[in-house]
Amino acid sequence: MVVFDKPHALADVPMHYCPGCTHGIIHRLVAEVLDELGIEGRTIGIAPVGCSVMAYDYFNCDMIEAAHGRAPAVATGVKRADPDKHIVFTYQGDGDLASIGMAETVHAAARNENITVIFVNNAIYGMTGGQMAPTSLPGQVTQTSPYGRDVKHCGFPIRVCEMLSELEGPEYLERVTVNSVKNIRAAKKAIKKAFQNQIEGKGFSLVEVVSSCPTNWGMTPQAALQWIEEKMLPYYPLGVYKDRTAEEAQV
């Protein structure tokens, strides 16, 4: 009896991620959801620029590599080309989604574009070697904030779910994390809902996954998961920030 197997939607190739990186977990959760919903064959994924740039090699569904920050615009094109068939997701990091691509993010949300956005927030630019991100915490030491992020000099980190929740457009916004088995299960549930929403035509669904970067945070994987709990979650509280369908059901 097979008790543990690779999801079909996840390609059987070695990944390039650092030891202890949570991208692998999040990839797996997305792939499991594609399997469970039976949508791999009609799904097109959009990879970002950042650590997960090569996600196009890791999923077995059709994949497109987008320019930095432009994944929501590319996803808009793909979705509108065949809205009945195409299931479209973007997989983006914090620099991609919340810095260079903020306009594309906000406007896709405002249009309630019927796509699923997986937003991996690890508060740092990983691929380029650990620079300050739009979500780096106040005081956080990075390569480009060597004395700690000084909010008087370079401003405050952006809480994406909270910000987008002010828009009428989006259907569903939830922040989850993957620093424990329990939280991973909750994260999968949110990701599944974000795809289910798209299948049902409900619209823009974004799941922000608070994630770790042991390499660039300069920590062991274990300590990094602890840092999520102690530093990240107080600034980025978990929870559902918008769920239009649930809100309308309550009224």
Binding residues for another protein (CB under 8 A):
11, 40-44, 46, 53-54, 56-57, 59-67, 70, 73-82, 85-87, 103-104, 106-107
Pick between residue 107 and residue 231 the one whose CB is nearest to another protein: 107
In angstroms, what is the minimal distance from the CB of 22 to another protein?
A: 22
Q: How far apart are CA 229 and CA 242, in angstroms?
A: 23
Q: How far apart are CA 152 and CA 24, in angstroms?
A: 35
CB 194 within 8 A of CB 172: yes
In angstroms, what is the minimal distance from the CB of 103 to another protein?
A: 6
The continuous run of DSSP H or E covering 49 comes out as none
Pick between residue 42 and residue 231 the one whose CB is nearest to another protein: 42
In angstroms, what is the minimal distance from the CB of 194 to another protein?
A: 18
In angstroms, what is the minimal distance from the CB of 195 to another protein?
A: 14
In angstroms, what is the minimal distance from the CB of 12 to another protein?
A: 12
CA dihedral 143, 144, 150, 156 (to 10 degrees): -100
Pick between residue 75 and residue 164 the one whose CB is nearest to another protein: 75
Pick between residue 25 and residue 64 the one whose CB is nearest to another protein: 64
Q: How far apart are CA 248 and CA 66, in angstroms?
A: 35
Pick between residue 21 and residue 224 the one whose CB is nearest to another protein: 21
In angstroms, what is the minimal distance from the CB of 217 to another protein?
A: 24
Pick between residue 47 and residue 137 the one whose CB is nearest to another protein: 47
CA dihedral 58, 22, 192, 30 (to 10 degrees): 0
Reduce the DSSP state of residue 216 to 3 states and report it.
helix
Q: Judging by beta carbons within 10 Å of its beta carbon (0-12, 13-18, 19+), is residue 122 exposed, middle or buried?
A: buried
